[in-house]
Amino acid sequence: MNLCIIGTLCLFIINISLVGGGGHCYTKWKNGRWVSVGDCNNPSAEDVLEQLRKSVKAKDDLKTWDKSSNNYYYKLFRDPVNYATAKSSCQKLGADLASVGVRNAIVRSKILQMVKSGGENTWVGLDDIEHEGRFVWADGLISTRENTDWTAGQPDDYGENEDCGEFNRDQNWKLNDFRCSERQYYICEKGRF
């Protein structure tokens, strides 16, 4: 009788696993209980807990970012890296080099407080790497004179080798195009939650 009940239960669990898991999900007896293994539509309690832990950690990390009036979050990174590394470092954090807020005068002034506190030239999300002379913001918007606070005489593609946008300390913290290979601070922007 007991064997029959256990057998029925096993069949039931296996059936649920096959229906819910797309063929790669199964359950197995481990440490005194049944656990889901593999690619399951019905995640195990451990999977759910792990997701919760990641979610709490992400929100905790966000406390180190500054929320601005546009509901985006900003963080200045003071490890000098080239433009490509700065961009990928932001993206690893679910962010990108700052662009949306840099176009907005009010948010830009707040961002500049952070940048000035660093005291160094700082990468933003703006470059003409793909097409010389056509600057594009990190969020995909084409740069225009109206939405880009270039300092006078910039961008000048000095030495025919300047494709990446920065806040420039010596140019009153306005935007300048600079050599992408330079190692500088960078500011990341994280979207709304």
Find the helix or strand (DSSP H, E) in which 108 lies.
helix 105-118
Give 27 or 168: the residue with its C-beta nearer to Ca ion: 168
Based on the shown chain and the rule CB under 5 A, indicate whether residue 166 belongs to the binding site for Ca ion: no
Based on CB atoms, which residue is closest to Ca ion, 25 or 126? 126
The number of residues that bind Ca ion (CB under 5 A) is: 9
Q: DSSP secondary structure string, 53-68?
A: HHHHHHHHHHTTSEE-
Q: Find the binder of Ca ion among 156, 181, 191, 193 (CB under 5 A).
A: 156
Map residues 96-135 to x or -, x wherever contact with Ca ion holds by CB under 5 A: --------------------------------x-------
Residue 177 in contact with Ca ion, rule: CB under 5 A: yes
DSSP 192: -
Cβ proximity to Ca ion, 25 vs 102, nearer residue: 102
Residue 73 or 135: the one with the smaller Cβ distance to Ca ion is 135
The two three-digit tokens of residue 147, written as one number: 């939405």
DSSP 149-168: -BPTT----GGG---EEEEE
Task: Identify the three-state secondary structure at position 82.
Answer: coil
- Say how far apart CA 99 and CA 106 lie, in whole Å: 13
Interacting residues toward Ca ion by CB under 5 A: 128, 154, 156-158, 162-163, 176-177
